[in-house]
Amino acid sequence: MTDLAHIRNFSIVAHIDHGKSTLADRLIQETNTVSARDMKEQLLDAMDIERERGITIKANTVRIEYTADNGEHYVLNLIDTPGHVDFAYEVSRSMRAVEGSLLVVDSTQGVEAQTLANVYQAIDADHEIVPVLNKIDLPASDCDRVAEQIEDVIGIDASDAIRVSAKSGIGIHEVLEAIVHRLPAPTGDANAPLKAMLVDSWYDSYLGVVVLVRIMDGKLKKGDQIKMMQTGARYGVDRIGVFRPAMQNVDELGPGEIGFITASIKQVRDTRVGDTITHEKKGADKPLPGFKPSVPVVFCGLFPVDSAEFEDLRDAIEKLALNDASFSYEMETSAALGFGFRCGFLGLLHLEVIRDRIEREYDIELITTAPSVIYHIYMRDGSFVELHNPADMPDPSKIDHIEEPRIKATILVPDEFLGDVLKLCQDRRGIQLDLTYAGARAMVVYDLPLNEVVFDFYDRLKSVTKGYASFDYQLTGYRADNLVKMQILVNDEPVDALSTMVHRDRAEMRGRAMCEKLKDLIPRHMFKIPIQAAIGGKVIARETLAALRKDVTAKCYGGDATRKRKLLDKQKAGKKKMRQFGKVDIPQEAFISALKMDN
């Protein structure tokens, strides 16, 4: 067990691509934690998809041993966190397990939207923060300007910010010295009853569930009988260890230490993130304050292209949900797409990552329906309904009002693109809250409806600003608005899978776009097919798909015009009858294209 004064627990926080994982690599390399032949780029990003996209998705932890210049020997526990807004949940819980943060800012780009979001999480968790200016070897680097920006925008003293280049290894020794001297040691009492915070858990096919814990008080030894304070479940500890980044067994963990335990736990569901672990006998009286559970924000349907793969999809989704506490799912059936799942995600990137993992790791082809959000529906009789799927909307005459989720979006954008960004936000029914300047960049704060953001806001923002804008958001609550359910009718039959919730002012535009799209996608039949968008009983847009027809007048040559007329009228009557009894077959491809997210 290490003496408390010689432990430092810290995390690295930064915007996407400002060099968190590379800095972690250098710290591991500088302290010879991993032998030179096992070292590789982004060592802590273990998933294929993380390495391929160059992003961190899961927060990873590693224990580093370091002998400082004053000869003292220290144990450093590092948690590398994600930068994307969709994985902010991973960041918030990592923060609770450590006492300090290294704030990494790219010295060529300066403070970005996610830098702010992640720093505020660190400040909320009462962290000591050490600013680090990265990428100083690049010609565009301007450390003085960025240090000033950190002081102006975030309000942290950056006069003694450490200047490093994580790629080439400049300044890494100074970072290690700053961790030892500027970050606080953890507190805790080794003789008090055990209190360990459950920071994360995941499923390993050999060991069962592996639980990442941070010991606050007391000691945890191999063979101890433990209980989870939230669920009351009891287990015997099989093995205890630390990550160097490979798992290494130890005999016990004391206060201030971060490590893992396995205890023959069968399901990750039994381990709630934020739970307190204590001894079964002589345990702690009060649990630690946990984390707020993550709330899914975006919902979409996942259906297998081949309906015979439904059971495989169920298996894949259950396994993924084991490893990802913020992913939720329930079964759903659709007349058009068959059996599938309605899944909840923290954002669109989270949705894409889960979809890619299912397609790649389990080899299942998926159809993803258009993303939607949860609406709150207040009925006239005073009851309240949560609406996940527009197809389940109650009778409009019984509804008093509908509320939709709103977000507070912070956008940092270079001055020359400001007008385009303001226009985009106004078009999306945004309300401007604030506009300030940080150097040559504007910081715009908008109140926006989440429904407009999940559709294609991020892509549009990137295209109008040539990729220079950074965007971060948090949910602020629900507000009533003039929302309606728009249905699509094909040959007067409503198609459930295509119904969506829209704002009344924008319904006509959305309806027209949808009808035009379907007109190109549905194959022609022997009779003409009306494609309509309707709100309640009122049709707001219509396209007509022409019929395939045989030339019945081909055999008429010369003679009276009434002969042709007679044949055409007969054909017309036949088409009319056909239209009454005919069924329109909408091919699966048409559904997939109509529901595609990138429309």
Binding site for GTP, by residue number, is 17-22, 134-137
Q: Please report how many Cα atoms fall inside a 13 Å half-sphere around the Cα of residue 159, on the Cβ side.
A: 1
- The one-letter amino acid at 218: G
Q: Taking a C-beta distance cutoff of 8 angstroms, is the pair 138, 109 a contact?
A: no
Assign residue 217 a region (left: φ > 0; alpha: ψ between -120 and 50; beta: otherwise). beta
**Exposed, middle or buried, 473 (CB in 10 Å: 0-12/13-18/19+)?**
buried
Note the helical H segments in 440-494: 450-464
Classify 274 in phi/psi space as left (phi over 0), alpha (psi -120 to 50) or beta. Answer: left
Q: Which helix (H) or strand (E) holds 47?
A: none
Q: Token pair for residue 58?
A: 């899961």
435 close to 391: Cβ distance less than 8 angstroms: no
- Separation of alpha carbons 77 and 445, rounded Å: 36
Question: What is the DSSP-derived secondary structure letter of residue 83?
Answer: -
Instruction: Note whether 363 and 474 are within 8 A (CB).
Output: no
Distance CA 575, CA 577 (A): 5
| Structure-block tokens of residue 414 | 């270079």
Residues forming a β-bridge with 405:
478
Two structure tokens written together for 56: 């961190």
The tally of CA atoms less than 13 A away on the side-chain side of residue 127 is 30
DSSP reduced 3-state for 478: strand
Q: Which residues pair with 381 in a beta bridge?
A: none
Q: Which secondary-structure segment (H or E) carries 181?
A: helix 172-182
**Under 8 Å between Cβ of 271 and 211:** yes
Cα separation, 128 vs 185, whole angstroms: 11
β-strands 366-368, 298-304 pairing: antiparallel
What DSSP state is assigned to residue 284?
A: -
Structure tokens at 385: 């309904």
Bridge partner residues of 200 (DSSP): 212
Please report, as a single letter, which amino acid is at residue 89.
Y
Q: Which residue has the tokens 């913020």?
A: 326
